[in-house]
Amino acid sequence: MLTMLKELCDLYGVASFEDDVRSYIQTKARFCAGGLRVDAMGNLIVFKQGAQSGQNKLLLTAHMDEAGLIIRDITDEGYLKFAPVGPLDARVVIGKKVSVGWSRVPGVVGLKAYHLVSEEEEKVVPKLSDMYIDIGARSREEAEALVSRGDYAAFSTRAEEFGAGLLKAKALDSRIGCAVLLQLLEEDLPMDCTFAFTVQEGVGARGAFGAAFSVAPDIALTVEGVSAADIPGSDAPRGSVKLGKGPVLAAMDGGTVYDRALFELIRSTAEKDGTPWQLRPPVTALNDASAVQRTREGVRVAAIAAPVRYARTPSGLVSVTDYEQTCALVRKSVEAIAAL
């Protein structure tokens, strides 16, 4: 189970370039799926028959994309100028190793050396527009022989077990959900389920809308990783999400007010099973549930997530126990929904 999460996190899948992630999931899913298709947006939609075809048509979603960069220009000196793809904090980018384009050209994010900056520049966080990717080229011609404008760049971070029961990796906020759904696909299900591995969540939950429109579910459950705030110097309010305290349930976020009855069903399922859970504070961020909820006549939605420290950076951290408990709670929640 942990091996699959590591493998997923090591794949490159910047929004609209999720091909490698989709291919990996297709390979795993084709042996246990009743039906599998890729839609026009690039979402992978998988159907699996369960023990019953219930009154409620259930969709489970997880997004495949990760935050990254896209090449917008190449300088005469051979440096690559870039723009962010998805939410990206400029403070975590400087000096990071990246892989550029389909050829996986290695590069490093650079910036003017510290001893060359002015006093005014010392006082501000550098802008992404001031940074560049150095691939070791000596001219525009050398760089253009390797990469092109419009190529993506993904952070080069290998997943590894870390510290006291943690996993360190990039793309944890997305690949946790993918791993949980793949695990469920390998098991006997209590009801028919459709699984949507979606694209472009980080740039506006664009893939999920089309996937949900075609599936037309009654109920949808989004699975992902969410930001934890248990770090030194954080002024996060009491009750903020922490590692090691169990799966995270959401009542509301920046894009969705979740179905109250589903929230209570999942909460009671966790407590009945003795699974610790946390409430996600209302935040401005949104996820695939916001798009799914607004599809067709409307969809009842709920969300279950694992807490991730340093989410959407090249080196996020997740508790292995939280991840395992999240997977177990999703499984139990599907059973509870099947019994409705």
N-term to C-term CA, the chain: 29
Classify strands 58-63 and 193-198 as parallel, antiparallel or unpaired. Answer: parallel
Q: Which of 201, 224, 264, 335 is catalytic?
A: 201
Report the length, in residues, of the chain: 340
3-class DSSP string for 206-263: HHHHHHHHHHCCCEEEEEEEEECCCCCCCCCCCCCCCCCCCCEEECECCCCECCHHHH
Classify strands 219-227 and 160-162 as parallel, antiparallel or unpaired. Answer: unpaired
Cα–Cα distance for residue pair 154/165, rounded to 1 Å: 26
- Secondary structure element (H or E) that encloses residue 43, with its range: none
Q: Is 64 exposed, middle or buried (0-12, 13-18, 19+ CB in 10 A)?
A: buried
Comparing CA positions, the residue from 162, 153, 185, 152 lying closest to residue 6 is 162
- Asked about 264 being catalytic, the answer comes back as no
Question: Under DSSP, is residue 338 helix (H, G, I), strand (E, B) or coil?
Answer: helix
Comparing CA positions, the residue from 159, 64, 145 lying closest to residue 100 is 145
- Residues tagged active-site: 201
